Amino acid sequence: MKSTLTEYLRPARAEDVPALMALRTEAEEWLSSKGTDQWSDPETGAKAITKWRASIDEGRAWVVVDDDSGKVLGTVSRGPVDRDFWTDEDRPESAFHLYKLIVARQAAGRHLGARLVDWASNLAAMEGRDWVRIDTWRTNKGLHSYYERLGFKHVRTESPSHRRSGWLAQRPATTLSRPDFPLTVGHPSKERSATIPTQPSG
C-alpha cells in the first residue's frame, strides 16, 4: 500500500463504463475463484451495462479514482427501492439503498469498500435517513460476513424465483467503520473537494 493515498470519489461518467465493466469482470473472476456463483448468470453482464448507464445518467453512480494514474479503483451506486425485497412496512424512504459496490483487487489494503459504505452512511445521515441498506447474492456467505463486520445486521432473506439476490441487511446511518479515514470527494486539487457531497435523494 502506498504511504500517501491519492484516491478520490467523483460522479461516474459515460466514459467510465468500460472501466466499470472491467471492474465487474475482475470481480466475477475473483468470486469464481472463491467458490461463489455470484454474477454467474450470463445475462447479468448485458443488464449491468444498461443499468450502469441509467445510473450514470441519473447521477446515482460514483467512482473512486487514483489521482496519480487516473485509474478507476472502485465504484458504488445508490438506487431506488427494490420492491422485490423491501416493502412499505420497511419504511424504504428511511434508507439509503446501496448497490454495485466493487473495488479493484489492486486497491486491496486501502479499505475502499468500508470507506465507500461510510460515505453512504454520512450521506444518508445528512439526508435525515436512518439506514444504509443492501441486498446481496443469497449464496455468497463470504460477502454476508464482510458486511456484518462493517456493522450490518441481517434483516431477512427473500427468495423470489426470478432473482438470485435477496440477503437483506442494514446498518444505522450513524455507524462508521473508518471515521478517521474518509474519502475525499472531488479532485484533491479542486477547492470544492469535500468529504460529503450533495446528491439527489433516492
26, pLDDT greater than 90: no
Radius of gyration of the chain (CA): 16
* 7-16 residue pLDDT tens: 999 999 999 9
Q: What cell numbers appear for 9 in the block?
A: 470519489
Identify the pLDDT of residue 193: 46
Q: Which amino acid is at 120?
A: A
Entry pTM: 0.85
39, pLDDT greater than 80: no
Identify the pLDDT of residue 189: 64
Enumerate residues 6+ apart whose C-beta is below 8 A from 23: 72, 74, 75, 102, 103, 104
What's the chain's average pLDDT?
Answer: 86
Mean pLDDT for 126-151 is 94
Q: What cell numbers appear for 38 in the block?
A: 455470484
Mean pLDDT for 191-200 is 48
